[in-house]
Amino acid sequence: MTEIEIRGKLSKVNFEELFAFLEKNGRIKDHYHRLSVDISSGFNEATKSWDYSSLFDLRIKKSNDKEKITMKVGSYDKKERQEIEVKLLPGEFLNALSLFEVMGYKSGMVYGWESWEFDYRDYEIKLSKYTDDYYTFEIESSIADPNLLAKKLNLVPYAKEEYQKAIEWENQNIHKLYKKEEIEKLLKTMF
């Protein structure tokens, strides 16, 4: 499936206002805690960053009791990307990581956050809380331009350079390096 998506940062106040608006005018589709391990190629552990030469983002994800492998095809900063998902049986998260480690995917970043997904008109809007003072939004659609809705809601999506800087800041200040012990700890505390 190909989706068009945009992302941006929210203040806590903007997050709360948008959340209230979507609760009133949209339909909540899902709420979950997510643990995501990004093992995409081209990762440098010393700088906690990717060289962005790969056109594939490879992640193993756990959202509450749902687990899956996800690959997004295309440059990370493109609005339109193909997404391929393989659902895993519950409890297979660590086995999937072990499989990819054997294939050479042994480094990357570990992300953890809480998300709420809303359906609003022709869009899916995801609001995410990473810490008590760091929030983001995503707007995606397969039939409508997310930029039109962002403008209507007074949301400012990242420009390419801003998005790369946001990723780098998050990797330095919020997310953790991929270590099995870190993942096992997060599995116990998040779920």
Listed residue (85, 66, 115, 62) closest to 3, CA to CA? 85
The superfamily in CATH containing domain 2-190 is: Hypothetical Protein Pfu-838710-001 (2.40.320.10)
- The tokens 């919020």 sit on which residue? 174
The whole-model pTM stands at 0.89
pLDDT surpassing 90 at residue 55: no
Residue 2 is predicted with a pLDDT of 65
Q: How far apart are CA 48 and CA 175, in angstroms?
A: 9
* Cβ(94)–Cβ(106) below 8 Å: no
Cα four-point dihedral sign 31, 123, 58, 90 = positive
pLDDT tens, position by position, 107-162: 999 999 999 999 999 999 999 999 999 999 999 998 999 999 999 999 999 998 89
Listed residue (59, 37, 76, 42) closest to 175, CA to CA? 37
The angle at the Cα of 138, spanning 121 to 59, to the nearest 5 degrees, equals 125
- As given in the structure block, the two tokens for residue 110 are 């570990």
Residue 51 is predicted with a pLDDT of 83
pLDDT tens, position by position, 5-48: 999 999 999 999 999 999 999 999 999 999 999 999 999 999 99
Backbone φ and ψ of 126, nearest 5° = -115, 125
The amino acid sitting at 131 is T
pLDDT tens, position by position, 70-103: 999 988 777 788 889 999 999 999 999 999 999 9
Question: What residue spans define the domains of the chain?
Answer: 2-190
119: DSSP letter: E
Instruction: Give counts: helices (H), strands (E), the chain.
Output: 5, 11
Residue 86 is predicted with a pLDDT of 97
The CA radius of gyration of the chain, in Å to the nearest whole number, is 16
Residue 1 is predicted with a pLDDT of 61
Q: Tally the residues of the chain.
A: 191
Confidence class for position 172, pLDDT limits 50, 70, 90: very high
Distance of CA 123 to the CA centre of its chain: 17
